[in-house]
Copies of this chain bind each other. A is one copy, B any other.
Amino acid sequence: MDVISVYKCLCDRQRLRILNLLKDGPLCVCHLMDILEADQVKISKQLRYMKDLGMVEAERQAQWMVYRLADDEEPLLLENLKCLQDCKGESTIFRKDLRKRARVLGRLQPDSPIKSTCDC
């Protein structure tokens, strides 16, 4: 996992939003669809792209695929995700996404990450 791969993931707004969401904890595809209001194929393909670059990992939980940031946490990635919130102009959408994330996950047990009762 090299520097270039990290930046390749970061240089697309959709991917950036996904990573921003994942940094606060794992999510399944349907949650991402829900939060980002994007269709399944688009999300799936972006996730695949980032998985190929080693930035995210997937784990099956029952019928859901749960994605999270890769285990060998790339400090460069985390550092960049951290400052997304205070990037002028852009920040609104990233914060909004996180609020929506909370709302969507709120419908689950509080001690998530992602129960098998995922109610997508």
Interface residues of A (CB under 8 A from B): 2-4, 7-8, 10-13, 16, 76, 79-80, 83-84, 87, 89-90
Contact = CB atoms under 8 A, between A and B. Distances in A.
Contacts of A3: 16, 84, 87, 90
Of A8, A80, A89, chain B has the most CB atoms within 10 Å of the CB of A80
Contact of A4 (B4, B8, B16, B80): B16
A39 to B, nearest CB: 21
B2 A90 contact: yes
Contacts of A10: 7, 10-11
A2 B89 CA distance: 8
A83 B6 CA distance: 13
